[in-house]
Amino acid sequence: MQPTPPTSSVLGDRSPTDFLDTYWQSRPLVVRDALPDFRSPLSPEELAGLACEDDVASRLILKEGGEHPWELRHGPFASADFLDLPATHWTLLVQEVDRLLPEVGALLDHFRFLPAWRLDDVMVSYAPTHGTVGPHIDNYDVFLLQGAGHRRWQIGTEPVEDEQIVPDLDVRILADFEAEEEFVLGPGDLLYLPPRVAHHGVATDDQCMTYSVGFRAPRHQALVANFLQHAIETIDPDARYSDSALDPVDHPGEIHDDARRKVRRLLRRLVHDDGAIDQWLGQYLTRPGRDREAVPPSTPVTNEELVETLRAGHGLRPGPVSRLAFIEHDDGSTTLFANGSSIDLAPNLTHAARLVTGRQQIPSDALTPHLDDDAFVDLLTTLINDGLLEWDAA
What digits encode the pLDDT tens for the residues 370-390?
999 999 999 999 999 999 999
Question: What pLDDT band is residue 7 in, cutting at 50, 70 and 90?
Answer: low
Tens-digit pLDDT profile for residues 310-351? 999 999 999 999 999 999 999 999 999 999 999 999 999 999
Identify whether 76 is preceded by a cis peptide bond (ω within 30 of 0).
yes
Tens-digit pLDDT profile for residues 56-70? 999 999 999 999 999
**pLDDT, mean of residues 146-174:** 95
Query: Is residue 177 predicted with pLDDT exceeding 50?
Result: yes
Query: Is residue 2 predicted with pLDDT exceeding 70?
Result: no
The domain defined by 303-392 folds into: Malonyl-Coenzyme A Acyl Carrier Protein; domain 2 (3.40.366)
Q: What is the pTM of this model?
A: 0.92
Architecture of the domain delimited by 9-215:
Sandwich (2.60)
Which of 1-5, 82-86, 365-369 has the weakest average pLDDT? 1-5
Query: Is residue 393 predicted with pLDDT exceeding 90?
Result: no
Sign of CA dihedral 255, 261, 262, 267: positive
**pLDDT, mean of residues 298-313:** 97
Listed by start position, the domains of the chain span 9-215, 219-236+257-272, 303-392
Question: What pLDDT band is residue 5 in, cutting at 50, 70 and 90?
Answer: low
- Whether the Cβ atoms of residue 138 and residue 213 lie closer than 8 Å to each other: no
| Mean of all residue pLDDT scores within the chain | 95
Residue 350's nearest CA partner among 372, 365, 330 is 330
Residue 90's nearest CA partner among 68, 60, 69, 67 is 60
Query: Is residue 4 predicted with pLDDT exceeding 90?
Result: no
Neighbouring residues of 299: CB distance < 8 A, sequence distance ≥ 6: none
Question: What pLDDT band is residue 200 in, cutting at 50, 70 and 90?
Answer: very high
- Whether the Cβ atoms of residue 72 and residue 59 lie closer than 8 Å to each other: yes
